[in-house]
Homo-oligomer: A and B are copies of this chain.
Amino acid sequence: MKKAATIRDVAGRAGVSVSVVSRVLNDTGPVSAPKRAAVLEAVEQLGYRPKAAARQLGQDRPDTIGLLLADLTNPFFARLADRVVAEARSRELQVVLMTTQEDPHLEQQALNTLLDRSVGGVIGTPTGHNVEHWDKLANLEMPVVFVDRAIDGLDQVDVVSIENVESAATATGHLLDRGHRRIGLVPGPLDTTTGSERVRGYERALAERGVDLDERLVRPVPFRGETGADVMAQMLALDEPPTAVVVANTAQVRAVLRMLTQARVSVPDELSVVVFDDNPWTELIRPPLTAVRQPIDMLALHSVDLVHARMRQKLPPAPRRVRVPAEFLERSSTATRR
């Protein structure tokens, strides 16, 4: 077991030519029954496996997609990765995983390596900062699908996400219906669609109920770090603190909750809480959290579907925007305002 067998070894062993071997392996072209059997046996005995690199060198499109996620530490992205890998496998696609850690510099590096890897397509959650680089990818005939978030100024890529505006409006409306008037919002950065769209939904809900908007209650924070805790503290320190809050920044849910626990803010008595996030731990927390659940499997399904289809050029060039509805789950962290 020193060096791997090549297609030529198989051909020799089976007493045929390489083309015959290739044909039976890829089922392309006719082969007589006896020779086919001989080839199969030789393949078996030698434990032959075609080398991926050599195969790619030819005409075929790479059977690999890049998955560029923000951060696997966030259960949302982790589950997304899990589903994407599963969907990819069912289409016989490999997944190369990279993470940006929400760092534009790392994202840029990753985009470059994706280029040489010559993956057939990319599914990613952009940080929001490397417009030109993403653009370069897209211009290079490389299918790109943004999932969960998108960024402005990039209109030629497909986007799969939940209905952010709707979801935020629902969450906010839920609180308004329970008598809350001062409702905090902690969204992601406004230059990502998840940030801006959820703010829009929040504002729409307020407007529909004729409630005034207080700028101090809308505090976008980066996905990284623990800033969610800070802005939460700041809001609670206002003269008229909020009686409810919507944490629309998935990555900051934990930071906010930890802050509330430490400050001994009682949920939902003193503060009602709705979070954008729903991982299996959410329901084990006291109290179980009212949440907007993202249909992760749908996001994964559509994303993989799209890259796959584009890789096979089975789609009209116009970019797609797939939006899947999110589910609102009322649990015990929201209550009627006292």
The answer for the CA separation of A115 and B94 in the assembled complex, in Å, is 12
CB-defined contacts of A75 to chain B, threshold 8 Å: 75, 78
A1 within 8 A of B: yes
What is the size, in residues, of chain A's interface with B at 8 Å between Cβ atoms? Answer: 57
A136 within 8 A of B: yes
- B98 near A98 with CB under 8 A, answer no
A112 within 8 A of B: yes
1/0 contact trace for A248-267 toward B, CB 8 Å?
00000010011001000000
CB-defined contacts of A94 to chain B, threshold 8 Å: 96, 98, 113, 117-118
A81 within 8 A of B: yes
Query: At the interface with chain B, which of A14-22, A82-90, A200-208, A327-335?
Result: A82-90
List 14 additional contacts besides A75-B78, A89-B98, A261-B284; criterion CB under 8 Å.
Answer: A1-B139, A51-B116, A53-B53, A72-B72, A78-B81, A81-B81, A85-B98, A85-B99, A86-B101, A89-B106, A94-B96, A95-B98, A279-B281, A281-B284
Number of identical monomers bound together in the oligomeric complex = 2
The answer for the CA separation of A80 and B90 in the assembled complex, in Å, is 24
The answer for the CA separation of A194 and B101 in the assembled complex, in Å, is 30
* The residue from B85, B112, B117 contacting A72, defined by CB atoms under 8 A apart: B85
A86's closest neighbor in chain B, by CB?
Answer: B99
A64 within 8 A of B: yes
A237 within 8 A of B: no
- A112 near B49 with CB under 8 A, answer yes
Within residues 13 to 60 of chain A, which ones have a CB less than 8 A from any CB in chain B? 47, 49-54, 56-57
